Amino acid sequence: MSMLNSGTAARPAADRHPHDYYYREGMPLRPPPETAAVSPLWLTRPHIEQFSPWIPVRAAPVQTPLTRLFDDHRWQGDELMDAVVLAFTRTGTARGREMFDRALDHGIDAVEGAPPALVDLFHHLDEPPEWFDADRWERGRRLWINASLSGKLTMMLSDAMGTFVGAEVSSATGQTRRFLADFRRRELETVTWFYNVTRPGGADRHSAVFKSIVRVRLMHAQARLALRRIWGDEHFARHGNPISNAMTMGAAVTFGLLPPLFDHARGRRIARADLDSVMLYWACIAHLMGVADELVPRDAADGLRMAHHMILTAGGPTEWTDITVRAACDHVLSRNPVLRRLQVQASAPVVGLVSALTGEPLVRALLRASPLATLRLQPWQGIAQRLVHLNVAVRRAGDRLPNAERRLEARARGGDAWQRRGVAMVSKLAARSGVSGTPYDHHDTSVG
């Protein structure tokens, strides 16, 4: 398979950026893109509270072999799926999607005339990685679901900060305009994906959950190729690859670790071995999402150092932060000036909660060009902090009651209940805009 990245695979070597290739073992590591610089913006109080019980928290995180590899992989995408997307530009997207879905449902042997890239992808998908352990995966899934609602809210809001403030993701989501032009569909796809990965069977090759994860992986590769063509080498030289392999892994680490870290910091302790199981659960999801095997943390210690490094080097805010947040406010807020001012003031409790869970500097960076820029966060920030402490305290007390393990198992039986409620709520809102279902095919028309 070619070592070239998806955006420039057909171009002569002399015309490509020197970092535009896929890593091979033993190669010198590429330096991070210039936008991946350490920023004090991300060294927030919540970050320090959650990470300091486990690793040294510093303004400039300590480099490890895995964090150096993380920086290297900011330059590359998903080698197997990128090759599939390029193959589909030759077969035709409609025909490619048909072959892809047939292989997902019936196996690659059921696809006549499958491109070699599609065959390679499904050989990879059909064989679990050697480090996979089904029992530990299931244990990690149950433990993650058992985290408090406040811990999960922290994860989701931190992800939103990475999406709208962080340099790489805010540029990608802004340029594709999905949050601007197709807000409800993008919202429904996101909450559905999060719920799906908490359901049983995510590691089962033939489950609906497995298939939905791989469909999102294809969508990311399509978006990556489209963005590489739009941006060219100038953007690549500053930012690295859009929706990079590193960011995909970093997202999985923070999705997985932040909820139990939040609870642990507030007295609801989790054992290191259990945190390792949570890491394995999300490492498997990262594997299915196309993260190169050498970048996948094998335990929580490596995951923690990677997450700390990634968060502090997220960069931003960007011009797309301002454009996207202003558009979101215009979508939600009334056009009537008086009613709009009332809505802005009424949003103070929600913004205070976000600030309590993610840090005031990030909230100010997010809202700097919006009607909410000067909103007062107190007393709402302090009230929110007390409420989330109470939430974790109640869950901690429940852990000490008899049959805690049985409740943990029952709570995870159908996937995360809070995520399921979120899907139901967003589905109703999306239906009003004519959006139903999550085929994850939005970017089928982005490349050709």
Task: Give the tens place of pLDDT for each residue, 14-41.
Answer: 568 899 999 999 999 999 999 998 999 9
Given a contact cutoff of 8 angstroms between Cβ atoms, the answer to whether 166 and 315 are in contact is yes
Mean of pLDDT values over 71-75: 97
Mean of pLDDT values over 141-150: 97
Confidence of residue 180 (pLDDT cuts 50, 70, 90): low
pLDDT value at residue 177: 55
The secondary structure of residue 21, as a DSSP letter, is B
Helices (H) and strands (E) in the chain, counts: 21, 0
Cα separation, 293 vs 283, in Å, equals: 10
Confidence of residue 186 (pLDDT cuts 50, 70, 90): confident
Mean of pLDDT values over 193-198: 94
CA distances in angstroms from 233 to 20, 72, 230, listed in the order given: 9, 17, 10
Q: Is the pLDDT reported for residue 388 higher than 90?
A: yes
Four-residue CA torsion sign, 356, 327, 169, 31: negative
Mean of pLDDT values over 56-81: 96
The CA angle 319-381-184, to the nearest 5 degrees, is 50
CB atoms within 10 A of CB 106: 11
SS3 label, residue 246: helix
Four-residue CA torsion sign, 9, 13, 14, 17: positive
Mean of pLDDT values over 159-173: 83
Mean of pLDDT values over 212-231: 92
pLDDT value at residue 320: 86
Phi, psi of 415, deg, nearest 5 = 90, 175
Which residues neighbour 299 within 8 Å (Cβ) at sequence distance 6 or greater?
276, 279
Nearest to 438 by CA among 228, 84, 197, 226: 197
Given a contact cutoff of 8 angstroms between Cβ atoms, the answer to whether 79 and 288 are in contact is no
Single-letter amino acid code for the residue at 439: P
Among the residue ranges 50-54, 358-362, 443-447, the one predicted with the least confidence is 443-447
Flag whether the pTM goes above 0.85.
yes
Hey, what are 170's tokens?
């805010």
Beta bridge partners of 4: 21
Share of residues in the chain with pLDDT > 70 (%)? 93
287-298 pLDDT, tens digit each? 999 999 999 999
Given a contact cutoff of 8 angstroms between Cβ atoms, the answer to whether 38 and 60 are in contact is yes
Phi, psi of 278, deg, nearest 5 = -60, -40
Q: Is the pLDDT reported for residue 439 higher than 90?
A: no
Mean of pLDDT values over 229-248: 90
Half-sphere exposure of 240 (CA within 13 A, CB side): 27
Cα separation, 243 vs 430, in Å, equals: 25
Which residues neighbour 197 within 8 Å (Cβ) at sequence distance 6 or greater?
209, 213, 285
Q: At what angle do helices 245-265 and 300-312 cross, to 10 degrees?
A: 110
Cα separation, 334 vs 358, in Å, equals: 27
- 418-426 LR contacts (CB < 8 Å, sep 24+): 418/149, 418/152, 419/152, 419/191, 419/194, 419/195, 419/198, 420/195, 422/191, 422/194, 422/195, 423/188, 423/191, 423/192, 423/195, 426/184, 426/187, 426/188, 426/191, 426/192
Q: Where are the beta strands (DSSP E) in 121-216?
A: none
Q: Which of the two residues, 170 and 236, has the higher pLDDT score?
A: 236
Cα separation, 2 vs 144, in Å, equals: 38
Four-residue CA torsion sign, 176, 177, 178, 179: positive
259-310 pLDDT, tens digit each? 999 999 999 999 999 999 999 999 999 999 999 999 999 999 999 999 999 9
Q: At what angle do helices 79-91 and 93-106 cross, to 10 degrees?
A: 130
Q: Which of the two residues, 437 and 104, has the higher pLDDT score?
A: 104
pLDDT value at residue 438: 72
Q: Where are the domains of the chain?
A: 44-75+134-435, 79-127
